[in-house]
Amino acid sequence: MINLETPRKFRAFVHQAHQVAAEMLRPNSRRYDLAEHAYPKELDMLAAMVDGLGASGTGSGAGAGGVRRPEADEDGKVKNGSNLSSVLSVTEMSWGDVGLLLSMPRQGLGNSAIASVASDEQLRRFDGVWAGMAITEPGCGSDSANIQTTARRDGDVYVIDGEKIFVTAGGRCDAVVVWATLDKSLGRAAIKSFVVFKDTPGMTVERLEHKLGIRSSDTATIRFENCRVPASNLLGSPEVDGEKGFAGVMQTFDNTRPLVAAMAVGVARASLEATRDLLAEAGVTVDYDRPIHLQPAAAASYLQMEADWEAAHLLTLQAAWMADNGKPNSLQASMAKAKAGRAGNDITLRCIELAGTLGYSEHHLLEKWSRDSKILDIFEGTQQIQQLIVARRLLGKTSAELK
């Protein structure tokens, strides 16, 4: 049975993550929001420290790169592993700054894709690589099954052609995990993921996007023209299984959606804490011992937001815990992503309302957190897609039956 307290073995690690967020990420948050596309050099030292923690065994999944799904344990013992520790650390780091977190070397969402579906040999070969995730295309957003980028087998290589947009860390990472189809006529079953290194001929970073939020994180458009990638860089099995579909690459989402939910939880918590301080300065006390209808309107609104945040937080922990214990968590991952994404948006905007002019100005980070939170309800599957997945799972419908 899941225990909702932070596991004792993770408490020191979570405390360290919070210290890093408070002393390194939060103080640089506004600086790199204003200096869009400037590389945060402070992250090199932080990444080296995270690598050291992982190598020493004390990091226990320090970020997105640490996520991997274990096999189900037949002895019934409960595990608190890398998925839960990653969610806990990502929450703390996002409390500091989610854009800087997404800019951390070797902690990209592509690293989670590698950890989710790579073979043991590939895990060793790609160890230490900073990988971005390249899924979205100009004509393909939420419907990943409609990917048009192709991968054609030519001897011992695959030839990749296509264009990917909104690639997080696409300008800075060492490699990208590219989703491409082996045969468009076979539909979603033929979609595979490939690790493509940035120095590969035929791969070009076309431009970096200017964005509403997470401005410290670079977001790139990447083109592939006759890009020849070793066949050994295909993640998982190269076989096209019509029965299984593209469940292998979709398993990536089951592991990364709780991470994105954790980012939303962290940003929302930062907004709640700052707003509570501002309310206290204005003489508004949030009283947990009084009924909500007997409290000032601002305090009542705050309590409603806090309850919403708690629900998102617990759903996120559940999805990560299930992954650690080898349990199917596609439903829970989508529920966590849907709830946390929407709650993050709602909470950060309502906090601005409660703070008034202080919330709207750059004197505080509240307005920045509201901008950052919007993407967390969009990438890794939009709010609407998550609701569709949840409906399919609950009703027992296939993607063809419920669109």
Residues 92, 137, 367, 380: which is the catalytic one? 380
Does residue 238 sit within a domain? no
Is-catalytic flag, 306?
Answer: no
- Distance between CA atoms of 132 and 173, rounded to whole angstroms? 6
- What is the percent of the chain where pLDDT is above 90? 70
Give the domain-ending residue among 233, 258, 287: 233
- The mean pLDDT value for 387-399 works out to 94
Burial of residue 77 (CB within 10 Å: 0-12, 13-18, 19+) is: exposed
For the cut 90, the answer to whether the pLDDT of residue 317 exceeds it is: yes
Q: Tell me what percent of the residues of the chain surpass a pLDDT of 70.
A: 91
State the maximum Cα–Cα separation within the chain, in Å, rounded to a whole number: 73
- Mean pLDDT within 65-93: 76
Q: Which helix (H) or strand (E) holds 43?
A: helix 42-56
Model pLDDT, residue 115: 85
Contact 235, 252 (CB under 8 A): no
CA triplet 39, 41, 46: central angle to 5 degrees?
Answer: 125
| pLDDT for position 113 | 84
Position 349 confidence tier, pLDDT thresholds 50, 70, 90? very high
pLDDT at 2 over 90: no
Question: Do 112 and 139 share a structural domain?
Answer: no
Of residues 51 and 296, the one with the higher pLDDT is 296
pLDDT for position 399? 83
pLDDT confidence of residue 294: 95
Residues 135 and 221 occupy one common structural domain: yes
User: Is pLDDT at 247 greater than 70 in this prediction?
Assistant: no
Which of 198, 233, 268 is the last residue before a domain boundary? Answer: 233
Confidence (pLDDT) at 165: 97
* Residue 321 pLDDT: 92
Instruction: Give the mean model confidence (pLDDT) for residues 330-345.
Output: 97
Structurally, the chain folds into a number of domains equal to 3
**Chain segment 195-222, per-residue pLDDT in tens:** 999 999 999 999 999 999 999 999 999 9
For residue 32 the two structure tokens come to 């790199």
Question: For the ranges 133-137, 343-347, 369-373, which has the lowest average pLDDT?
Answer: 133-137
Q: Are residues 359 and 265 in the same domain?
A: yes
* Residues 304 and 374 reside in one and the same domain: yes
Domain range enclosing 208? 129-233
Query: In the listed set 117, 147, 166, which residue is the last one of a domain according to the structure?
Result: 117
Closest CA to 113 of 64, 169, 47, 165: 64
pLDDT of residue 60 exceeding 50, the answer is no
Answer whether 235's CB lies under 8 Å from 112's CB: no
pLDDT digits over 271-305, tens only? 999 999 999 999 999 999 999 999 999 999 999 99
Alpha-carbon span 150 to 164, nearest angstrom: 12
Say if residue 258 is in the same domain as residue 220. no
Q: Specify the pLDDT at position 252.
A: 79
Res. 80: pLDDT tops 70:
yes
pLDDT at 245 over 60: no
Q: What is the CATH number of the domain that holds 76?
A: 1.10.540
Closest CA to 169 of 121, 113, 225, 248: 113
- Of 146 and 225, the structure prediction assigns the larger pLDDT to 225
Which range among 6-15, 45-54, 69-78, 92-101 shows the weakest confidence by mean pLDDT? 69-78
| Domain match, 24 and 105 both | yes
User: What average pLDDT score do residues 348-373 get?
Assistant: 97
pLDDT for the residue numbered 111: 87
At residue 187, the pLDDT reads 82
- Out of 39-53, 95-109, 265-279, give the one with best mean pLDDT: 265-279
> In this structure, are 258 and 389 located in the same domain?
yes
Pair 43, 137 in one domain:
no
* Confidence grade of residue 69 (pLDDT, cut at 50, 70, 90): low
In a domain, 222, yes or no: yes
CA distance 174 to 195: 10
What is the structure's pLDDT at 63? 47
- Looking at the structure, do residues 54 and 96 belong to the same domain, yes or no? yes
pLDDT of residue 55: 56
> Taking all residues of the chain, what is their mean pLDDT, rounded to a whole number?
90
In terms of domains, do 269 and 359 share one? yes
Does pLDDT of 62 surpass 50? no
User: Confidence class of residue 50 from pLDDT cuts 50, 70 and 90?
Assistant: confident
Please name the helix (run of DSSP H) or strand (run of DSSP E) that holds residue 249, with its range, or none.
helix 247-281
Predicted pLDDT at 26? 97
Give 369's contacts (C-beta < 8 A, 6+ positions apart): 267, 270, 271, 348, 351
Q: How far is the C-alpha of 237 from the C-alpha of 248, rounded, in Å? A: 8
Q: Check residue 49 and give its pLDDT.
A: 76
Q: Is the pLDDT of residue 97 over 60?
A: yes
